Amino acid sequence: MNGLGTSMQEKLGVQPRKGLRLSDILVTVLVSLVLGVIYHFWGSVYNLLKPLFFEADELLYGMWFAAATLAYLLIRKPGVAIIAEVAAAHVEVLFGSGWGLTLLLYGVIQGLGAELVFAAFRYRSTSAWTLAFAGAGSAVGSMIMDFYYSYTDDLQAWMFFAKYGMRIFSGAIIAGLLMLLLAKALDRTGVTSLLRPASRKDYEALEDPRHV
């Protein structure tokens, strides 16, 4: 009789898995491959804004942080943001980017910038504010790398704040809000449900006699 009160999830021995599974990593890498290709060709779009005004191209810089936020929205597990950015950076390297190891280091730090934001919300929030902060966090990570490699040495104070202010804004909008809209669009198609493990509601629906 006790077995009648046991949920289907318990009967099947299914337990929530918080760590990354192989399938999570494969999906993350697949998303990153697609975005890595976009990253490679984004430079041409990025350069279109250069003639407009000082560092105008920074307004499009946020696309290079998109892998971290989109992968998180699809998988929602610790470590995904870093894996996604590094994998996307690898694709750029394979396309012949001259940045090499430097590009991979940027991927790690940019992914870490987003990862810290998601960790601050315990990987439970997918709100617009969280994604915007994550995109901005990746931008801050890239700024730290620029500073480390002395790319900021020749900038006057106003130039520094203008350049990285636009980059942070771009990260929040493109990597944050735009990727959130894309994830919601994918969710409406049912694609995202295929990427996540069955939830308690899924098992309860199977137990519901109305669905038999």
The total number of structural domains that make up the chain: 1
* Token pair in block for residue 185: 């669009």
**pLDDT by residue (tens digit) across 32-54?**
888 778 877 777 777 777 777 77
The verdict on residue 211 lying in a domain is: no
**pLDDT by residue (tens digit) across 70-93?**
999 988 889 999 999 898 888 877
The verdict on residue 62 lying in a domain is: yes
Taking 60 as the threshold, does the pLDDT of residue 17 lie above it? Answer: no
d(CA 102, CA 145): 9
Q: What is the pLDDT of residue 56?
A: 79
Q: What is the pLDDT of residue 82?
A: 92
Taking 60 as the threshold, does the pLDDT of residue 212 lie above it? Answer: no
Q: In terms of C-beta density within 10 A (0-12 exposed, 13-18 middle, 19 or more buried), how is residue 19 classed?
A: exposed
- Can you say whether residue 76 is alpha, beta or left, with left for phi > 0 and alpha for psi between -120 and 50 degrees? left
d(CA 28, CA 34): 10
Calculate what percentage of the chain has a pLDDT beyond 70: 78
Q: Work out the pLDDT band at 141, boundaries 50, 70, 90.
A: very high
Taking 80 as the threshold, does the pLDDT of residue 11 lie above it? Answer: no
Which CATH number goes with the domain that contains 135?
1.10.1760
The verdict on residue 208 lying in a domain is: no
The verdict on residue 12 lying in a domain is: no
Q: Work out the pLDDT band at 138, boundaries 50, 70, 90.
A: very high
The 3 state secondary structure assigned to the chain is CHHHHCCHHHHCCCCCCCCCCHHHHHHHHHHHHHHHHHHHHHHHHHHHCCCCCCCHHHHHHHHHHHHHHHHHHHHCCCCHHHHHHHHHHHHHHHCCCCCCHHHHHHHHHHHHHHHHHHHHCCCCCCCHHHHHHHHHHHHHHHHHHHHHCCCCCCCCHHHHHHHHHHHHHHHHHHHHHHHHHHHHHHHHHCCHHHCCCCCHHHHHHHHCHHHC
AA identity, residue 32: S
Per the structure, the complete domain to which residue 116 belongs is given by 21-196
The verdict on residue 27 lying in a domain is: yes
Q: Give the mean pLDDT of the chain.
A: 79
Q: Work out the pLDDT band at 5, boundaries 50, 70, 90.
A: very low
The verdict on residue 74 lying in a domain is: yes
d(CA 127, CA 133): 10
Q: 114 and 65 in contact (C-beta within 8 Å)?
A: yes
The verdict on residue 102 lying in a domain is: yes
The verdict on residue 126 lying in a domain is: yes
Give the closest residue to 179 by CA, choosing from 111, 132, 147, 112: 132
